[in-house]
Structure 1
Amino acid sequence: MKRKAWSASHARVQQMADKRERILDAARDRFLAEGFSAASMDRIAEEAGASKMTLYRHFKSKEALFLAAINRDCAQIYAVEEHDPAITREAAAQSLSDFGQTFVMAITEPGVLGLFRMLMGEMARFPELGRLFYDAAPARSIAVIERILSGLLPAAEADMRARAFMHLLMGDTYQRLALGKIDFAQSATDFPAQISLAVELILSGIGKVTPEERP
């Protein structure tokens, strides 16, 4: 007999969701305080008020836990299907601008930035962690941008421009913030102009497209 699935409102489902959040909170704190290699899964479970078995039920490895911790505040930028392909340059500009603002807010959230800095410091010892992070985060952001551009450009060009746009959004402002050259307040002042310029540059050469000309 097939076991009946609980509804999203079931108390047990909510308890599991709350437990997952506590694990992620504890993991973020340990990773930031100790780094990836030193952070103990036993200590994370203890701080979350969970058993080690429960921790591994939610996250199969420390790598998976780290990726979940760094991506928790970025989930809104990976919703590919929520972004329709733009069919005019104007629509693309608006969609890219909206995405850019959401993207920048996510990657500059203090906890996310702290975990990214920690990741860079661990790369020499854990190169696989960097590869997993790329697939779990930047590659998914690029997929969203590519979808927005897919109504205006051939697939190969949409992909190329999507990759460029993501890095234009981050630009020198993100680098200065990540390296401690500027603070969060200054980055918030600088990012709007950077986002606008990124949109302008990435849509350079794209005019209005008729239905017959769409890819």
Structure 2
Amino acid sequence: MDAIAQEAGVGKMTVYRQYADKRTLFIACMNDQCREMLMPDRYESADSLDEAKAMLIDYGHVAMNLITRRDIVMLFRMMIGEINHFDGLGGVFYQGGPGQAISVIERILAKLFSPEEARLRAGAFFWAALGDAYERVLLGVVSADEVLAIFNSQIELAAEIVVR
């Protein structure tokens, strides 16, 4: 709560007045951030493997630029710290974040693969695009800017592998 109040430039009591409890605050923050990331209406199904690859690279950059932002990384760290205290928080986070992002990727691949295959490839793309660089950002080993070139390479490689 202290970190959220400080980031928002308000007092801790202002945050408490706005949200009934930490769980409500986390869910509100996650839903707000995830809506920004997903842009589901922007991405339709690709008609060719080349088009899918280009769309995956584009979406990979959109997703990476969002989830490596300082505020999103801080939110994720806080959520992990609270997950044992709030039943279902992990599921809410997954469905609102990675799960929805994977659904967007699945839609991109929908015309090119069976539904099961598209779902598997979508998950593979999302997690391969994040790669080791994302783990290092989450753990505070490096900043997202320090590994931007690695993210770019991971996204392109993941797209290439997924459309093979």
Identify the structure with the greater helix proportion: 2
Alignment of 1:157 with 2:117, yes or no, is yes
- Whether 1:137 aligns to 2:86 is no
Correspondence list, 1:172-183, <5 A: 172-183=132-143
Report the residue type matching 1:44 in the other structure. V
Aligned to 1:7: none
What is the aligned-residue RMSD (CA, Å)?
2.5
- TM-score, scaled relative to structure 2: 0.85
1:157-206 deviation digits (Å, cap 9, x = unpaired): 101111111111111010011112222321223210111111011112xx
Q: Distance in 1 between matches of 2:92 and 2:126?
A: 18
With over 3 angstroms needed to count, the CA separation of the structure-2 counterparts of 1:122 and 1:90, relative to structure 1, is same
C-alpha deviation, 1:61, in angstroms: 6.0
- 2:4 is matched with which residue? 29
How many residues matched?
A: 161
1:104 corresponds in structure 2 to: 64
- Matches of 1:136 and 1:183, distance apart in 2: 24
Aligned pairs for 1:1-215 within 5 A: 29-30=4-5, 42-45=13-16, 52=17, 55=18, 62-204=22-164
Mark the runs of 5 or more structure 2 residues left unpaired by the alignment: none
Kept in 2, the 8 Å contact 1:85–1:148? The answer is yes
TM-score normalised by L of structure 1: 0.66
| Counterpart Cα distance in 1 of 2:111 and 2:24 | 34
